[in-house]
Amino acid sequence: MPQDVRELTDFYHTPLGQMARRVIRRRIRNFWPNMRGRRLLGYGYAVPYLDAFGDAERAIAAMPSHLGVIGWPDEKNAALLCEEDCLPFPDVFFDRILIVHGLEGAESLRPLLRQLWRVLAPEGRILLIAPNRTSLWAQVDRSPFGHGRPFSRNELDGILKGALFHPSRWERGLYAPPMSSLTGSGASWEAFGAHVSRHGRGACGGSDQVALRRRRAARPAADGKGQTKNCH
């Protein structure tokens, strides 16, 4: 079952959670090395990663109602609680959207993806971190990647294209096994897993990182009347 913010916060305070955060954070910055002057939305439970983007013009953390919400950052609050089908932002408002622990626990994917399409700028980009169905991380409940709905690449590709997104880059990461005794940066596991994966030997990372572009097309319909909710 989906976790809430308390369980997610507790996980990221464990040695395993800290290792996962370091691994995923490095990959996120590799996708987006420069955020200067850009408006960033973190959707789901992205707060462990948003502080990597201190150069962003503005960063907001939006957490769905089934998760709950925590204050972020410490010195001033830029976090809010929202409904999946009604994000409280204007159209085409964000240059970048980072989704972490946002899809696997969603109650309904299509309305959520329509809302993310709506608030993303025409030349904007989304980076999605999603649990890989075939990984060890998706099989154990000691990590958030073992809760909710994991995805295969083909399944996720079809879902995203159906929501008028174009997946432009795929990477797999989090190759370390989800053992509570693991500490450190995880860099050696990532290097080993990437090497094995490149040679087709079946290494299976715990997460997929998917870079998305907003397809130039008619606004996706959210209901039988062909309207997408604008909730700001």
Question: Which DSSP category does 18 fall into?
Answer: H
Is residue 78 within 8 A of residue 59, CB to CB? The reply is: yes
Domain 5-214 has CATH 3.40.720.10: no
Q: What is the pLDDT of residue 174?
A: 84
Q: What is the pLDDT of residue 177?
A: 79
Q: What is the pLDDT of residue 226?
A: 47
Q: What is the pLDDT of residue 185?
A: 57
Taking the domains of the chain in order of start, what are their residue ranges? 5-214
Query: pLDDT per residue over 207-227, tens digit each?
Result: 888 999 988 655 555 554 445
Here the tokens at position 218 are: 């008619």
Q: What is the pLDDT of residue 199?
A: 46
What is the distance of C-alpha 84 from the center of its chain? 14
Positions of the chain with pLDDT under 70: 1-2, 182-206, 216-230, 232
Q: What is the pLDDT of residue 168?
A: 93
Query: pLDDT per residue over 132-144, tens digit each?
Result: 888 888 888 888 9
User: Backbone phi, then psi, for 190, in 5-degree steps?
Assistant: -65, -40
